[in-house]
Amino acid sequence: SQTIHQWPATLVQPVGSPLSLECTVEGTSNPNLYWYRQAAGRGLQLLFYSVGIGQISSEVPQNLSASRPQDRQFILSSKKLLLSDSGFYLCAWSAGHYGYTFGSGTRLTVV
């Protein structure tokens, strides 16, 4: 069966520090992968999506970047975190029209 792993579950980082959130998928190949963010009081917003290794599309300009070094691995990064990067980050995958599977999410607090 298909599963998705996202870690860590919670993270507290100081302003200016780097960030790396990882998401891996099992049980499928060549999935579409997504990073979403939920800022306080707002709905989930698409940050990045990837249709294949090394292929990253960004939906909104921001202090973040994404990479897909392997077919089932999707990484969200920042070189220097800002206070405004705080929020709930969610990884998801889909295989076209077969619905979405969501990770458990990472709650990031930048202090």
Partner 1 sequence: KNEVEQSPQNLTAQEGEFITINCSYSVGISALHWLQQHPGGGIVSLFMLSSGKKKHGRLIATINIQEKHSSLHITASHPRDSAVYICAAHSGGGADGLTFGKGTHLIIQP
User: Cα separation of 109 and 95, whole Å?
Assistant: 31
With respect to partner 1, which residue has the nearer C-beta, 80 or 100? 100
Q: Residue 56 in contact with residue 67, Cβ under 8 Å?
A: yes
- By CB under 8 A, is residue 94 in contact with partner 1? yes
Q: Of 11-19, 22-30, 64-72, 95-103, which segment contacts partner 1 by CB under 8 A?
A: 95-103
- Contact predicate 8/107, CB 8 Å: no
- Identify residues 64-93 at the interface with partner 1 (CB under 8 A): 88, 90
> Which of the residues 9 through 68 are near partner 1 (CB under 8 A)?
9, 32, 34, 36, 41-46, 49, 51, 57, 59
| C-alpha span between 57 and 59 (Å, rounded) | 7
